[in-house]
Structure 1
């Protein structure tokens, strides 16, 4: 079966034009149904996967005879998940597998969850071929919390190992693989370890990376924590520095460690006072990824969050800035923070991040998940035309979000050196009609031009009229 990328690469210009019409908000429902019935596969793929759909079109997709076409709806992040859930008992394993796999998202962003009853049906009826680990991304928070006590064993199993044997260090020792593998790594990082296992990791010729694995294990004895705090491997010392059970002598030693990343790690230890913390020579990195973080399943203590937000340490304020439920006073305070990471993390994660913060963050931050800022509800539109001549193409493209951008500017930017800029301006509703007509025959921009809402319904119908009936 061809991949979506292969399907698109093989699409000719007329097919790409139809795909653009499938995305056009001006395209009426009856035309969407015509495209679903008679358009080539690439256009049906775009229609079913890349936009929200009217109820009648969803009904038609679910009843479509082609499994590929139905599978595109199963991966659609734009429709209500309850619509996708209607495919849970599809006759074709390929469709069921795509529903289980879920919509493709970027970074740590999770798709909207499927209804709980749909997830339960997937977990209890799908074969291993149809069921992948990515289905967990479609669990609601309520279902995640209920997993350990769910009445259905196959669902309960997704809540992690509940068998008491996993809490028995002797059982863990007896079942620890003696060769490098995921199971050995998981055990050394997470499960309770006997002293024999720990000593085996510490004794040559043990693999050096395994000291890094056990450094964060909660079952590590105090004397081993102290021993590893002076380990020659800075990676081990960095991981040990994060432990809350770190002794005061070890903390003081790590606070003057020759490695900057070790000093930084121990500087956020909760045992320090603000004055002690300020005395550590740490360096705050600006080359980190300041992206989106899913809302925590179990919320942090509000007072601990407030303490972080009011800290003089930027790394602690960054931790607070990731909180989706940060109260208004802390939101306002951190929106004016002097640390770029604090401001951008706040903009990326808080549902009420103000428009000024979102725009400032996009202008100042050029790292991974920058584009996610554009999806935030309050991202501004008015005034963005002023960035049409900015040196950064991603900032120039902001002018396409401004409904007031002058037609001559829109037309000029459809000829921009940057492909992304050309694409977004080909969709701008103020694109002059002559240029829009020209782009409908342009190999590169035809799909974007056909998705332009400035195309009238009559023009859309005319473009679809030549479509042969299947």
Structure 2
């Protein structure tokens, strides 16, 4: 019976009065399903969840990945720590996280304690542009967050943080500024050799190094030191040149990604015996298209090519995306395909690209991806985010029943149950399909014949899906509650 009640809890056609009954103590077993798995609520049900006496219900709403973030944010001032922590944490790590609204983030940053804030900082719910705005925030603890995007701040913003009236903001700003100070790096490391741990490794990889530290890394037998020197932006040119023939291809590939790599070394690595090194060189900005084409690079079609959380990173440069979109190099066109702001002309160009990665990345990341591209990407690529394509607002669901109900492959037959015009007789047949997901989808389909739908309420496997069918008569829904 629990499956049936959970089906009712997520049924999009369930009336408010029924959902309110499910919030009563006798139905405690379905509270979480009701609050965390619905994409929308009647207004009075939302209010009842927000003021529900049990924090488990309010916490379930806070972690609901399907509702708008504003709805989750209704519990921002909840009296229970667990509810606040669930709002601060990412709602569902299996799908892209949506950003929280700015006023909500502001409220959390200025009222939450450190343990919840740590959840928030790791949740990917704070937009990059919000972090940029923190430099001007009236609250010192929020201004301090701006140091996390230090290199993206203007000179004036950095200067203001360095002389901020609050000592913790000033200290944080000076600490970040010292990352580019070789003498400060030496002081942080202490006597050489320093202890090798996560903290010191982060310094060696990312901070400016003095010649003393560089020479120590060259003498020290740790095999990771060569990669550190290949990666660190401050490694002197003579040391970089000495690594170009290093036996480890991972070191040479890291060199190939350096912004300051001398052109002579670019030419050497373009002929490297390792295809990964040559490929890394082939996308360097200074190369002309003919120079890229002359490199024997490789392109993989086995990647996930999924969606990106664009709000967590700086917006792409439109001019660069336009250049990439017209490049002959598929890896550069893939970069363009990730840009959600790509203009329609270039969307059309990349939608017809001969590279699978370009097409699928465009389908996942552009809000105006062509419907036929979305369907083609679903059919051609089996990455982990494949099913998310069917949730795209432009996914072409009409006519899928006729096209795919008899497909030999289950993944294609599943498309049939997305068709709002699916023939009732076909829906009936698909409730008996060998594939469990197809049976479940057909059972939830509103065009399933009523007689079959009622019969499935007594099916031990499909009863919960039948209870979730929006075509289920409201009288029957109430009858299931007893």
Same fold (TM over 0.5): yes
Q: Aligned in 2, Cα 1:251/1:103: closer, same or farther, shift over 3 Å?
A: same
Please tell me whether residue 260 in structure 1 is matched to residue 246 in structure 2: no
Q: 8 Å contact 1:74–1:102 — kept in the other structure?
A: no
**2:180 alignment counterpart:** 167
Mapped partners of 1:245, 1:145: distance in 2: 27
In the TM superposition, residue 145 of structure 1 has moved relative to its aligned partner by: 1.9
**1:18 alignment counterpart:** 5
**2:111 alignment counterpart:** 125
Deviation track 1:411-465 (CA, whole Å, cap 9, x = no partner) reads 222222222222211111122223322322333322221111110111112112x
**2:360 alignment counterpart:** 344
Q: Aligned in 2, Cα 1:424/1:176: closer, same or farther, shift over 3 Å?
A: farther
In the TM superposition, residue 157 of structure 1 has moved relative to its aligned partner by: 3.4
In the TM superposition, residue 43 of structure 1 has moved relative to its aligned partner by: 1.2
Moved more, 231-240 or 289-298: 289-298
Q: 8 Å contact 1:358–1:373 — kept in the other structure?
A: yes
Mapped partners of 1:359, 1:205: distance in 2: 53
Mapped partners of 2:315, 2:116: distance in 1: 33
Mapped partners of 2:197, 2:120: distance in 1: 21
2:253 match: secondary structure: helix
Unaligned runs of 5+ in 1: 1-13
Mapped partners of 1:47, 1:437: distance in 2: 22
**2:332 alignment counterpart:** 316
Mapped partners of 2:86, 2:189: distance in 1: 35
**1:67 alignment counterpart:** 55
In the TM superposition, residue 75 of structure 1 has moved relative to its aligned partner by: 0.8
In the TM superposition, residue 134 of structure 1 has moved relative to its aligned partner by: 4.2
Q: Aligned in 2, Cα 1:280/1:44: closer, same or farther, shift over 3 Å?
A: same
Mapped partners of 2:434, 2:197: distance in 1: 48
In the TM superposition, residue 61 of structure 1 has moved relative to its aligned partner by: 0.9
In the TM superposition, residue 265 of structure 1 has moved relative to its aligned partner by: 0.7
Please tell me whether residue 139 in structure 1 is matched to residue 126 in structure 2: yes
Q: Aligned in 2, Cα 1:213/1:370: closer, same or farther, shift over 3 Å?
A: farther
Q: Aligned in 2, Cα 1:260/1:456: closer, same or farther, shift over 3 Å?
A: same
Match of 1:413 among 430, 445, 449: 430
State how 1:8-407 maps to structure 2 within 5 Å: 14-51=1-38, 52-107=40-95, 109-113=96-100, 115-135=101-121, 136-159=123-146, 160=148, 162-163=173-174, 164-176=177-189, 178-206=194-222, 208-295=223-310, 297-385=313-401, 386-407=403-424
Mapped partners of 1:28, 1:291: distance in 2: 36
State how 1:412-451 maps to structure 2 within 5 Å: 412-451=429-468
| CA RMSD of superposed structures (Å) | 2.0
Unaligned runs of 5+ in 2: 149-171
Q: 8 Å contact 1:188–1:210 — kept in the other structure?
A: no
Deviation track 1:342-394 (CA, whole Å, cap 9, x = no partner) reads 11111110110010000011100112211121121100011211112223322
Scaled by the length of structure 2, what TM-score is found? 0.88
Mapped partners of 1:77, 1:147: distance in 2: 26
Mapped partners of 2:458, 2:201: distance in 1: 55
Moved more, 70-79 or 345-354: 70-79
**1:5 alignment counterpart:** none
Q: Aligned in 2, Cα 1:26/1:86: closer, same or farther, shift over 3 Å?
A: closer
1:175 match: secondary structure: helix
In the TM superposition, residue 147 of structure 1 has moved relative to its aligned partner by: 2.7
**1:9 alignment counterpart:** none
Mapped partners of 2:337, 2:183: distance in 1: 41
Moved more, 222-231 or 67-76: 222-231
